Homo-oligomer: A and B are copies of this chain.
C-alpha cells in the first residue's frame, strides 16, 4: 500500500483536484486554521457545547458498519457524549461502548451540515487555510457542507465513498485513513455507498479474500495529525480508524476533525444531496435500472440462467471499467 503523497502548502494543487488524486498538506498552525487547533480539547468543548443535544452513533463494537447496522443513534448532550467516552475508556474492552458523532444540518434531513448550526463557537474558531480558500474560489468551487466529527479512539468508521470532493482537516488526536480508488467499488463489495467489510484499517492478510487483497494493492494510506489536511476525492472509498494518543495523559481521549465537501458544479445530482453521499444522477439512474428493469428481466429466466445473466452483466461492466 502506498503513502498518500504529501505536498508543500504553497503547491498549486488544482490539477490534483481536477484529476481526482488524493494528497496531504501537513503543518498548518492556528494562524491557518484558527484557534480550534489550540482550543478544541474535550474538556473545553464539553463545557462550551455543553447542553446542545445531538444524534450520536453508539455501538458495542469498535467497527461501526453501516451495512450490518451494528450501532444505534442516540440523542444526547455534548456533555454526555464526552462523559460517556471517558467512562467507556475506563472499562475493559469487552464492556466498552463506542461513540461516534457527525454533525447534521439545522433541519437534519433537509439542510447540509455547517459548523454554526452546531454552535456559533465552532464557526468562530475554525477557518480554512487561505490557499485552500483561494483555490476553491479560483476553480469556481463552492462548499456544500462543513461537518464536525468527534470519534472515540479505537473506533473504525465503515469504509464508504462520498459523491463530493472533500478536505478532511484534523484538529485533535490522530486518525489512520485508507483510501481506495473509484475502480475498486466491486472489490470492496460496495453496492450502496458502504462496504460490508470490517477492520479495513487493520487488514488481516490471511483472512482477506483475493478481491479485497487486490483492492489493497491499489490503496493509499496516511496518518493524520493535528494541522494536517487530506484531500479525499469524490468516489474514493475511505476507511478511518481513530488512533489512541501516544501519551496517556489526557483524561478524555478523542479524535476531532472537520471536513468540507465541495464541488465545482460540473456533475449533476438527482437531489439536494444533504449528506454529500448521493450518487451523481447518471450513476443513480444506472443503479435504479439494475435494481428494477434488470432484476425483472433476470426473473424471467430459470435460476441457472439468472446466474449467467448477472455474471455476464458484471463481465461487460468490468470490461468497460478495465478499458478506462
Give me the interface of A with B, judged by CB distance under 8 Å. 19-20, 161, 181-191, 210, 214, 233-235, 266-268, 279-283, 285-287, 289-291, 293-295, 297-298, 300-321, 324
Contact = CB atoms under 8 A, between A and B. Distances in A.
Contacts of A310: 317-318, 320-321, 324
Nearest to A291: B316
Contacts of A312: 185-186, 190-191, 279, 283, 286-287
9 contacts: A186-B315, A189-B319, A286-B294, A286-B313, A289-B293, A294-B317, A298-B320, A310-B317, A313-B317
A313 B294 CA distance: 11
Contacts of A214: 210
Nearest to A285: B297
A161 B279 CA distance: 35
This chain: copies in complex:
2
A316 B290 contact: yes
Interface centre among A185, A210, A298 (most CB of B within 10 A): A185
Contact of A318 (B281, B314, B320): B314
Contact of A317 (B183, B190, B281, B317): B317
List 8 tightest A-B contacts by C-beta distance, closest first: A182-B308, A186-B315, A20-B304, A235-B308, A310-B321, A185-B311, A282-B297, A314-B317
A86 to B, nearest CB: 40
B324 A305 contact: no
B280 A311 contact: no
B315 A300 contact: no
Contacts of A186: 311-312, 314-315, 318
Contacts of A187: 311
Contacts of A286: 294, 297-298, 309, 312-313
A45 to B, nearest CB: 35
B233 A304 contact: yes
A190 to B, nearest CB: 6
Interface centre among A233, A290, A317 (most CB of B within 10 A): A317
Interface centre among A181, A289, A314 (most CB of B within 10 A): A314
